[in-house]
Amino acid sequence: MSDLASLEALTLEAIAAAGDEAALDAVRVGALGKKGSVSALLATLGKMEPEERKVRGASINKLKDAIVEALEARKAILKQAALEARLKAEIIDVTLPVRPSPLDTGRVHPITQVMDELAAIFADMGFSIAEGPDVETDDYNFTKLNFPPDHPARDMHDTFFFEPGPDGTRKLLRTHTSPVQVRTMLTQQPPIRVICPGRTYRCDSDQTHTPMFHQVEGLVIDKQANLGNLKWILEEFCKAFFEVPDVTMRFRPSFFPFTEPSIEVDIRCSRKDGEIRFGEGDDWLEILGCGMVHPNVLTACGIDPEVYQGFAWGMGIDRIAMLKYGMPDLRAFFENDIRWLNHYGFRPLDIPSLVAGLTA
Ligand code: DAH
């Protein structure tokens, strides 16, 4: 085989073997580039006799044409193959269902829902929201609320205490939202009308108790705030919250260190087949504790009990959520089981309001 024929055979073979456009270009440069094999052959023509150059030049050009043609043909094939591979890889199945948006799948936890409902109801009565920290001082959680240092009521609270700090005092996880009353009175001038929803902690766990739970506290301080106002507020709250036209309430004497007199409130209900209904029946259900703020508490918080008086109440949010929405086990509230949330949760844009309905 002549040198030209073997070069042609070798080059065409390399062209056929090129798997992609980059490999093909490398073959092109190797043959036709400045230092390529064909270019080297063409450079030899200059030193030849005219006769020889004519013959040799024609054959080299023929070789060059054959290579150019083969390169183009292979390039077209590779381009087509690359396009087909891309079409295959980037296939879009227009019959696939649209992915549901977070608005369709996300759910508002019943506790959040009930807190929003509380805010809507009490905002309508002119209350604002006050907040305090989960980690409290013994002073705010107990002492300023008129619990004497060794009073047994401190034990009733199953408190989680921290190790004593450098000054010897122990911080604690607040056992109720009542310390927010203290914080509010220390920082605001009467008249005061606040609700304080938040997390609370006690060392307790069963079907209706979890170590972390939620309470809402209410506080009104004014010159003439009285038990009649408190009864009206609680009644209006119960009607709005349980979405019933009437509730009957029962006020029982009780004891809390921070109120005098202290009262526990029950609401009339019926229980049939495990279902509780309010505003009917002859059963009673305890829902909250309340009373007139003790003068010692007012004094400890810098408010003159000769000028101001007030009332307060405290209620378990988890408990009223369980009652309203028929959820039997409190522990499930904090297990983050997506099936439970899908079942008991609320749609995020259905924001509770008294006008549109709390649970529209
Ligand atoms: N702090 C009380 C508790 O956790 C609840 C309570 C009762 C709060 C009476 C009050 C109140 O503000 O007046 O058991």
C-alpha torsion angle, residues 2, 4, 9, 15 (rounded to 10): 170
Answer whether residue 80 shows pLDDT above 70. Answer: yes
Find out whether 287 and 321 touch, Cβ atoms under 8 Å. no
Domain 103-344 has CATH 3.60.150.10: no
Q: What separation in Å is there between the alpha carbon of 217 and the centre of ligand 1?
A: 7
Answer whether residue 156 shows pLDDT above 70. Answer: no
Average pLDDT over residues 202-220: 90
For residue 157, the model assigns a pLDDT of 66
Answer whether residue 360 shows pLDDT above 70. Answer: no
Answer whether residue 359 shows pLDDT above 80. Answer: no
Find out whether 33 and 39 touch, Cβ atoms under 8 Å. yes
Query: Probe ligand 1: pick from 146, 156, 158, 217, max atoms within 8 Å of CB?
Result: 217
pTM above 0.85, yes or no: no
pLDDT in tens, 238-283: 999 988 888 899 999 999 999 999 999 998 888 787 677 777 788 8
More confident residue, 192 or 96: 192
Kindly report the protein residue whose alpha carbon is nearest to atom 4 of ligand 1: 176
More confident residue, 116 or 276: 116
Q: What separation in Å is there between the alpha carbon of 314 and the centre of ligand 1?
A: 4
Q: What separation in Å is there between the alpha carbon of 215 and the centre of ligand 1?
A: 9
Find out whether 311 and 229 touch, Cβ atoms under 8 Å. yes
Answer whether residue 75 shows pLDDT above 80. Answer: yes
Averaged confidence pLDDT in the chain: 90
Answer whether residue 236 shows pLDDT above 90. Answer: yes
Question: How far, in Å, CA of 183 to CA of 219, rounded?
Answer: 11
Kindly report the protein residue whose alpha carbon is nearest to atom 6 of ligand 1: 314
> Half-sphere exposure of 139 toward its Cβ, with a 13 Å CA cutoff?
7
Q: Provide the percentage of residues in the chain whose pLDDT is more than 70.
A: 98
Residue spans of the domains in the chain: they are 3-89, 103-344
Find out whether 67 and 11 touch, Cβ atoms under 8 Å. yes
Residues with CB under 6 A from ligand 1: 176, 178, 217, 256, 259, 289-291, 312-314
Answer whether residue 184 shows pLDDT above 70. Answer: yes
Can you state the angle between helices 110-124 and 317-325, rounded to 10 degrees?
100
pLDDT in tens, 322-347: 888 888 788 889 998 999 999 999 98
Average pLDDT over residues 49-69: 90
